[in-house]
Amino acid sequence: MQEELVQILENYSSMAITISILINIIVSIAGVVPSVFVTAANLTFFGFWQGTLLSFIGETLGALIAFYLYRKGFKRLSHEKLKEYPRVNSLMHIEGFDAFLLILSLRIMPFIPSGIVTFFSAIGSVSVIVFFLGSTIGKLPALLMESYAVYQVTTVSVQGKIIMSLAACYGVFICYKNIKKKK
């Protein structure tokens, strides 16, 4: 998918910045599509620092727009469904500095999907400002780590990519064995 996006950016280079930001916004609204392919395309096309900055801008705007849309579309419906789950329901009422710290912490963790953080923030009682600040500040170190990792993978030789792929397959195999052992 990264190659296709780079191709689009090359074909429409005069609008590449706008296209990149719009795609990041769409990915953020979708909530389930990982943004790493957009980051990889941005790094490939724009270079490390400009690509990282564009990904940051796009993801930040995307999170804010998704927050607004999720709040308008899901808040009332979600509260009805969550009444059955008192522990989850109590999380929906976190506000202020506690909400800021929770959002910040979740954004920094690279394995927590952004869409989930945005969704639960939107259906909760978090203010837009608290969400924006926690999300934006937390997104910065997470995106820098993601950009660095993606950049390293994209600049590695074919032999290095094969070694990384084999190591990843081995890691998945070990996880599978451990899960199977626990059952």
In tens, the pLDDT along 28-73 reads: 999 888 888 899 999 999 999 999 999 999 999 999 999 999 998 8
The number of folded domains in the chain is: 1
> From CA 170, how far away is CA 151, in angstroms rounded?
23
Tokens of 133: 């600040």
Residue 12: φ, ψ to 5°: -120, 50
CB contact set of 23 (below 8 Å; sequence gap of 6+)? 5, 38, 58
Give the count of beta carbons closer than 10 Å to the beta carbon of residue 154.
13
For residue range 18-31, what is the model confidence (pLDDT) as tens digits?
Answer: 999 999 999 999 98
> From CA 111, how far away is CA 91, in angstroms rounded?
20
Residue 119 banded pLDDT, cuts 50, 70, 90 = confident
For residue range 120-156, what is the model confidence (pLDDT) as tens digits?
Answer: 888 888 999 999 999 999 999 989 988 988 888 877 7
Structural domain containing residue 127: 2-182
pTM of the model: 0.78
SS3 assignment, position 91: helix
